[in-house]
């Protein structure tokens, strides 16, 4: 009698991509809970719309490409892209804009280049940039945080606004939305108000935008979980935060009444989400140890430059996309020397 003989390895581990993406989703949970607490049910509705659209779009493209559908869907990469985009969007964004953004991310940015592992740009941030450039008014309609919201909306009201554009009696966009802390800061500084005057605004918290600072803290906790689980390395998030802190710190020390503090920049927008969950995308980021530090640092500096002198107050998406383009060049000039190779061969 013949017996089948199997070679090593004998242990069967679950799919690595699925496991890593699952841990990313788990790490996002604290920040998502904070977003729902401060900005309402629209956050969860956006996530539901985005995930449903992403799964359907991925399945449709895989079918057209004659690729296996279920194994690819099970890697959860489309779900992660959808969730990252959804939590970056205003809570009451019209449903069709969310759908448009997700379709662009999955079909154009991901599968047009060959699917997971081949896309040169972060799909969620490319979709966010598309929506922001195409629909700037809708993309800046954020609700005030929970403690400042005079007209809190329940789940059904949020659903009605997102899908039907119908508001409760006597309410409108102007009544239920307000500027984000970064928007408010930029506008008031252009009106020649000082930081001391701006700090009296109810939008200003202990060290960042009110409500936003705690959302940033919870995304930071999720990011530390990813570091602990070795899902990501420290190089990019630490370098990205250092780049922003150094840039903001220099100008803040020069003129503290005209330039926001480094802490305000760090905890008033999407910086923590960007540093730990977006810039660390292994497909589109730099891959060498030195390259990751340069890549992350330049993203942080670029965020500060765009926030201070550019047209968009929260510049994480644009900074990441710009550095996505630079990542191959950074890797080329920072690749480790091959042991035993002559210098002319290694170059």
Residues 186 and 242 in one domain: yes
Structure tokens at 143: 């609700």
In terms of domains, do 305 and 329 share one? yes
- For the beta carbon of residue 189, count every other beta carbon within 10 angstroms: 17
- Same domain assignment for residues 34 and 160: yes
What is the pLDDT confidence band of residue 187, given thresholds at 50, 70 and 90? confident
Residue 199 lies inside a defined structural domain of this protein:
yes
- Tens digit of each residue's pLDDT (9 = 90 or more) over 283-334: 999 999 999 999 999 999 999 999 999 888 788 999 999 999 999 999 999 9
Residue 186 C-alpha from the chain's centroid: 21
Per-residue b or e along 332-347, where b marks 16 or more CB atoms closer than 10 Å to that residue's CB: eebeeeeeeeeeeeee
For 88, the domain range is 14-178
- The mean of the pLDDT values for the chain is 89
* Domain limit, last residue, from 148, 178, 208: 178
The answer to whether residue 259 sits within a structural domain is yes
Domain stop point among 178, 213, 231: 178
Q: Residue 140, class by beta-carbon neighbours within 10 Å (0-12 exposed, 13-18 middle, 19+ buried)?
A: middle
Which two tokens mark 31?
């920040």
Task: Note whether 235 and 314 are same-domain residues.
Answer: yes
The reply to whether 142 and 222 lie within a common domain is no
pLDDT tier, 249 (very low <50, low <70, confident <90, very high otherwise): very high
Name the CA radius of gyration of the chain, rounded: 22
CA distance 163 to 145: 22
Examine the fold and report which residue of 178, 207, 240 is the final residue of a domain before the chain moves on.
178
| Residue 270 located in a structural domain | yes
Number of domains in the chain: 2
15-24, 35-44, 271-280, 318-327: range with lowest mean pLDDT:
15-24
Helix locations, 40-166, DSSP H: 42-64, 69-73, 77-88, 95-103, 123-134, 155-164
Residue 52 has pLDDT above 80, yes or no: yes
Least confident of 7-21, 99-113, 206-220: 7-21
3 falls in which pLDDT band (50, 70, 90)? very low
| 344 found inside a domain | no
Tell me: do 220 and 294 sit in the same domain.
yes
**Residue 109 pLDDT level (bands cut at 50, 70, 90):** very high
- Does the pTM surpass 0.75? The reply is yes
Residues 155 and 227 occupy one common structural domain: no
The region of weakest confidence among 168-172, 273-277, 307-311 is 168-172
Q: What is the mean pLDDT of residues 49-55?
A: 97
Do residue 231 and residue 300 come from a single domain? yes
Do 37 and 163 reside in the same domain of the chain?
A: yes
| Residues 67 and 196 both lie in one domain | no
Q: Is residue 65 part of a domain?
A: yes
Tell me, what's the pLDDT at 117?
86
> Quick check: is 346 in a domain?
no
Domain identity same for 125 and 33: yes
Same-domain pairing of 267 and 138: no
Residue 205 in any domain: the answer is yes
């Amino acid at each position: 009698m013949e017996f089948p003989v199997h070679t090593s390895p004998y242990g069967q581990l679950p799919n690595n991509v699925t496991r890593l993406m699952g841990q990313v989703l788990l790490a996002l949970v604290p920040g998502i809970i904070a977003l729902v607490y401060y900005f309402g049910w629209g956050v969860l509705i956006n996530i539901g719309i985005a995930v449903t659209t992403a799964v359907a779009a991925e399945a449709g493209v895989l079918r057209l490409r004659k690729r296996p559908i279920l194994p690819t869907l099970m890697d959860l990469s489309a779900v992660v892209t959808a969730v990252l985009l959804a939590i970056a969007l205003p809570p009451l964004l019209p449903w069709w804009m969310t759908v448009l953004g997700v379709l662009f991310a999955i079909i154009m940015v991901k599968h047009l280049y060959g699917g997971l592992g081949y896309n040169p740009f972060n799909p969620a941030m490319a979709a966010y940039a598309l929506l922001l450039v195409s629909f700037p008014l809708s993309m800046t309609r954020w609700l005030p945080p929970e403690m400042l919201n005079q007209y809190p909306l329940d789940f059904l009201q949020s659903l009605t606004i997102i899908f039907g554009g119908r508001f409760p009696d006597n309410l409108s966009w102007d009544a239920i939305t307000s500027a984000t802390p970064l928007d408010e800061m930029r506008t008031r500084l252009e009106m020649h108000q000082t930081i001391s005057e701006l700090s009296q605004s109810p939008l200003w918290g202990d060290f960042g935008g009110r409500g936003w600072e705690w959302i940033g803290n919870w995304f930071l906790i999720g990011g530390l979980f990813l570091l602990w689980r070795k899902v990501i390395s420290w190089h990019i998030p630490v370098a990205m935060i250092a780049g922003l802190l150094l840039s903001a710190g220099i100008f803040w020390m020069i003129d503290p009444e005209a330039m926001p503090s480094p802490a305000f920049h760090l905890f008033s927008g999407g910086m923590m989400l960007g540093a730990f969950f977006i810039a660390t995308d292994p497909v589109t980021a730099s891959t060498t140890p030195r390259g990751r530090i340069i890549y992350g640092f330049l993203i942080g500096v670029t965020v500060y430059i765009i926030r201070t002198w550019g047209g968009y107050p929260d510049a994480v998406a644009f900074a990441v996309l710009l550095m996505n383009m630079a990542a191959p060049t950074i890797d080329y000039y920072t690749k480790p020397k091959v042991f035993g190779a002559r210098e002319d061969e290694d170059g």
